Amino acid sequence: MSSATCALRSQMGQMDKTPLFGLGISIACMVVSAIVVKQYFSKMPTGCAFVTQPGLVGLLLGALPEMWKYILRYEAHSGLAEYHEQEGDTLYFDFGLLRYFMPAVVITRDPRNVKYMLKTKFDSFVKGVTFHTIGLDLLGDGIFNVDGDLWFKQRKTASQMFTANRFKQHIWKVVRKNCDKVISLLRASQEPTVDIFNVLNRFTLDSIGEIGFGTDIGSLENPESPFLGSFDAAQRLMFIRFVLPCWRLLRFLGLGPERHSRHHMQKLREYSRQIVVRLSSSLDTPAGDSFVGLFMKSGSNYSVEFLVDLVLNFIIAGRDTTAQAMSWCLFLIMQHPEVEERILQEVQSVFGDQPITYDQLFQLTYTEAVLRESLRLYPSVPMDPKCPSEPETLPDGTFVPRGTSVFYNSYAMGRSTNIWGADALEFRPDRWLNAEPKDPYEYPVFHAGPRECLGKRLAMVEMKTVVASLIKHVKLRLAVPVDAVLPDTAATLGMSSGLRCYVEMR
């Protein structure tokens, strides 16, 4: 056979194989594409409103740019409430191709779904890996960041702090003392205006420090306490990480919102470690009768790092939410002088010229109605996430795949006309007087179900005492326009602007 013939046959063989090779590549591409598309859509919840953006932006990033627009304007919660009004009670926020790097996000304000997650299928809707990872460097394995047996043991032990005897013998004395410090601070102030939000954060920080850990933090005397800023920064970071796909990389590089994260977390943990070390050596003293003392005496061999987690979880819980609730309540009262006058009349009727007492505190029914109404409009925890451990179908028909982040939106629930009627946006404390108790799954401002807030009673005692005392002794007026008071974009509903007020002693 000639060399020319061999060359010809070789060329013909290559020609025969080329179509087959191309066909194989095409089939492989189709299979891979099918798998990718199936995986893409299998992660999508169904049966609820689909929120995204049109065009290429929607394909690549979904609704993420829109969410960031609201976040940067400090309108995250009001923006979501508008979405609910326009689109429905349950929303799925699509993140386009970023879905491969972020969990799907469903947000609901339907009370049926809330009850299903918090009670009916409590064991199936957990904090989950996403929340635990986001909060790990702040909350560690503390009660707010874990599930199952570890959560149950912490709750059972911590509940011993809130007995009736402790309230009368210890808790009330701390609240009363620090409330008097607030009044004295305002009376002595030489400044033209006072940031009441800052003052109330210092009140709650000092109170939980002494109630829970026998520690005099002293922030009412020292407004420059470095821990106040770190607490706020840490809360902000936890919220932002839910809508920041590359937050781990940014933390590693020390860029963007994560630029100072390690500094703040380290500062908080070092301070908490000092509390643990001090209490560890004083278990037989009154200071040992604290959260840390209860855990150390429980018989379990808890590590120092776990006790640090414990301290941080309870300081955050005892400081942030109560101060925020009181601040928003005063913000609303200052806009409604008729409400302020009724509180003043009630306080004078119950206490007269005498100091406020613990037993009489429960006679302040209108003041309590005002607090509950302000919590309806400004819940301290505006949204809370859960994660189904298995695929679930919510009562409203929404299907959520395993691993989906499902938030119940307390902020939007408080503004729902389906729940509260046509006047849902109005501040009307009378709706709480002589009315049937509200279903906690329609009003989950203290959470609900097995994980209902342990400190609910403490929070109400602090809030009624402070609000009643302030109204009795002080006339507050907003020193800024109403629309200049901005909510914070954080895990809890603080005030990014503070609450600047004119203070006039009565």
pLDDT tens digits along 278-291: 877 766 555 456 77
Strands of 131-238, DSSP E: 194-195
Task: For 430-459, write each residue's pLDDT tens digit.
Answer: 999 988 888 999 999 999 999 999 999 999
Q: What is the 3-state secondary structure (H, E, C) of 81-140?
A: HHHHHHHCCEEEECCHHHHHCCCCEEEECCHHHHHHHHHHCCCCEECHHHHHHHHHHHHC
Write the burial class of residue 364 (CB in 10 Å: 0-12 exposed, 13-18 middle, 19+ buried).
Answer: buried
**pLDDT of res. 2:** 54
Report the Cα 4 to chain-centroid distance in Å.
80
Main-chain phi, psi angles of 501, to 5 degrees:
-135, 150
Write the burial class of residue 344 (CB in 10 Å: 0-12 exposed, 13-18 middle, 19+ buried).
Answer: middle
Residue 404 has, within 13 A of its CA and on its CB side, a CA count of: 31
**pLDDT of res. 264:** 92
* Res 368 pLDDT > 60: yes
* Res 259 pLDDT > 90: yes
**pLDDT of res. 30:** 46
Tokens for 439, please give them: 């279903």
Q: What is the 3-state secondary structure (H, E, C) of 246-307?
A: CHHHHHHHCCHHHCCHHHHHHHHHHHHHHHHHHHHCCCCCHHHCCHHHHHHCCCCCCCHHHH
Contact yes or no for 374/328 (Cβ under 8 A): yes
141/493 Cα distance (integer angstroms):
23
Task: For 147-189, write each residue's pLDDT tens digit.
Answer: 999 999 999 988 888 888 888 888 999 999 999 999 999 999 9
- The set of residues, in sequence order, having a beta carbon less than 8 Å from that of 109 and lying 6+ positions away, is 84, 89, 90, 408, 409, 412, 413, 416
Radius of gyration in angstroms for the set of CA atoms belonging to the chain, rounded to a whole number: 27
pLDDT band at 322 (very low <50, low <70, confident <90, very high): very high
pLDDT band at 81 (very low <50, low <70, confident <90, very high): very high
Main-chain phi, psi angles of 19, to 5 degrees:
-60, -40
**pLDDT of res. 282:** 66
501/475 Cα distance (integer angstroms):
10
291/310 Cα distance (integer angstroms):
8
**pLDDT of res. 253:** 92
Q: What is the mean pLDDT of residues 312-327?
A: 92
b/e 189-203 (16+ beta carbons within 10 angstroms → b): eeeebbbbbbbbbbb
From 295-309, 313-327, 349-363, 468-482, the region with the lowest mean pLDDT: 295-309
129/387 Cα distance (integer angstroms):
8
Report the Cα 117 to chain-centroid distance in Å.
17
Arithmetic mean of pLDDT over the chain: 87
**pLDDT of res. 434:** 85
Write the burial class of residue 149 (CB in 10 Å: 0-12 exposed, 13-18 middle, 19+ buried).
Answer: exposed
447/316 Cα distance (integer angstroms):
16
- Edge-to-edge strands of the sheet including 105-108? 49-51, 90-93, 105-108, 405-409, 383-388, 125-126
Q: What is the mean pLDDT of residues 411-423?
A: 96
Pairing of strands 399-400, 392-393: antiparallel
Report the Cα 227 to chain-centroid distance in Å.
19
Kindly state the helix (H) or strand (E) to which residue 505 belongs, with its residue range.
strand 500-505
3-state secondary structure of 217: coil
Domains present along the chain, CATH in parentheses = 49-505 (1.10.630.10)
Contact yes or no for 386/408 (Cβ under 8 A): yes
From 122, 118, 142, 124, select the one nearest 132 (Cα to Cα).
142
CB-CB neighbours of 307 under 10 Å: 23
Q: What is the mean pLDDT of residues 232-238?
A: 87
Position 169, amino acid: Q
3-state secondary structure of 51: strand
Kindly state the helix (H) or strand (E) to which residue 388 belongs, with its residue range.
strand 383-388
